[in-house]
Amino acid sequence: MNYQIELRHFIYFLAVAEELHYRKAAEKLFISQPGLSTQIKQMEEILGTQLFVRDKKKVQLTPAGAYLKKEVEFILNHLDQTKKQVKLIGSGQMGEVRIGFLGSAMQSVVPDLLLQLKEKFPGVHTTLEELSNRSQINAILADRLDLGFVRLARVPKGLEVKSVFEDTFSLVLPAGHVLDERDFKHIGQVANEDFILFSQDYSPMYYDTVLSICEDSGFVPNVSHKSVHAQTIFKLVENKLGIAIVPTTLQHGFQMKVKFIEMKNIKQRAVLSMVWKSDNRNPALQNCMDLLLKL
């Protein structure tokens, strides 16, 4: 009667919370459904709180269950990371920093940073993952990621941000476009063209900034396509399906039949920021931040 919560409970709970279906969850866990039922029930008894509502053909989380789900996700992620760190420290290496980045960050600062990190802390292993702004924020909050490179004006409470690179914007035109660098005065000259932009979901800040650039020239762009890949955007421009506005450094690393016209005379900049959790417990990240904040 006087049991203790165990990690097993959490893993089972998470499976049910995700599937909202006992049999499916049990299959995923490779255990029998009755076993799962009793374990969840026991868990509810230990916590003294109902976690699921099972009424007639459907399983749902209670408010307490929904809260617990978030916490359990965090705890299990943190535990995984801790296990890795323990192994690394135990084997004499220093640790791991899990880094997320927007595709557009790979052209400018991130490679530099990785080189510096490798030099100063050869023992620190880094993992890299290309993710959207939103995914990075969520991953950092859930402790699946230590450090993110995003383009965001604001971040949730509990996270710290530091701007690391300010880039001008460039107009991207098909190679044979009539407008040339010499003739270019302002963006209003291409107001009638179709625009190809990064999706608003992918980077709201980028989207807003581009709109504000156009607004400053007195027009609302006609957005014909949206994409999350620079590659795709350039390809579309190359095929004359529209023109684009992107951070200037994005021109490096792609072989495309497009021309870039840097817009130095406008005030808007593409700001790339680092984000991390104020209370991140990864000792390798501490070292990493000490280095990075000095740059």
Partner DNA sequence: TCTATTTGATAATTCATACTTATTGATTAT
Partner DNA sequence: ATAATCAATAAGTATGAATTATCAAATAGA
Structure-token pair, residue 70: 């978030």
Q: Residue 34 CB, nearest distance to a copy of itself (Å)? A: 21
- Judged by CB under 8 A, the residue of 238, 283, 286, 291 near a copy of itself is 283
Q: Residue 93 CB, nearest distance to a copy of itself (Å)? A: 11
Structure-token pair, residue 49: 């709180």
Q: Which does 47 bind (CB under 5 to 8 A by kind): DNA, a copy of itself, none?
A: a copy of itself
Torsion angles phi and psi, residue 272, rounded to 5:
-100, 130
Instruction: Identify residue 264 by its one-letter amino acid code.
Output: K
- Judged by CB under 8 A, the residue of 163, 229, 281, 290 near a copy of itself is 281
Q: Does 282 participate in binding a copy of itself (rule CB under 8 A)?
A: yes
Q: Does 6 participate in binding a copy of itself (rule CB under 8 A)?
A: yes
Q: Residue 38 CB, nearest distance to DNA (Å)? A: 6
Residue whose CB is less far from a copy of itself, 8 or 229: 8
**Residues in CB range of 237: below 8 A, 6 or more apart:** 172, 173, 174, 196, 243, 244, 256, 258
One character per residue 77-96, x = contact with a copy of itself (rule: CB under 8 A): -xx--xx-xxx-xxx---xx
Nearest to 253 by CA among 100, 99, 105: 105
Residue whose CB is less far from DNA, 48 or 176: 48
How many Cβ atoms sit within 10 Å of the Cβ of residue 34?
10
Report yes or no: 191 and 169 within 8 Å, Cβ to Cβ: no
Structure-token pair, residue 257: 């039949």
Residue whose CB is less far from a copy of itself, 143 or 167: 143
User: Does residue 31 come out as left (phi exceeding 0), alpha (psi in the -120 to 50 range) or beta?
Assistant: beta
Torsion angles phi and psi, residue 74, rounded to 5:
-60, -50
Q: Does 28 participate in binding a copy of itself (rule CB under 8 A)?
A: no
One character per residue 96-115, x = contact with a copy of itself (rule: CB under 8 A): x-------------------
The Cα 237–Cα 171 span in angstroms is 11
The Cα 282–Cα 147 span in angstroms is 11
Residues 4-63 that bind DNA (CB under 7 A): 8, 12, 21-23, 30-35, 37-42, 54, 56-57, 59
Q: Residue 44 CB, nearest distance to DNA (Å)? A: 9
Q: In what helix (H) or strand (E) does residue 141 lie, and over which residues does it extend? A: helix 133-141
Q: Residue 107 CB, nearest distance to DNA (Å)? A: 43
Please report, to the nearest 10 degrees, the dihedral formed by the alpha carbons of residues 286, 291, 294, 295 taken in order. -130
Residues 30-69 that bind a copy of itself (CB under 8 A): 47-50, 53, 60, 62-64, 67-68
Q: Which does 41 bind (CB under 5 to 8 A by kind): DNA, a copy of itself, none?
A: DNA
Residue whose CB is less far from DNA, 37 or 116: 37
What's the DSSP call for residue 246?
A: E
The Cα 258–Cα 186 span in angstroms is 19
Where along the sequence are the contacts to DNA (CB under 7 A)?
3, 8, 12, 21-23, 30-35, 37-42, 54, 56-57, 59
Where along the sequence are the contacts to a copy of itself (CB under 8 A)?
4-8, 47-50, 53, 60, 62-64, 67-68, 70-71, 74-75, 78-79, 82-83, 85-87, 89-91, 95-96, 281-284
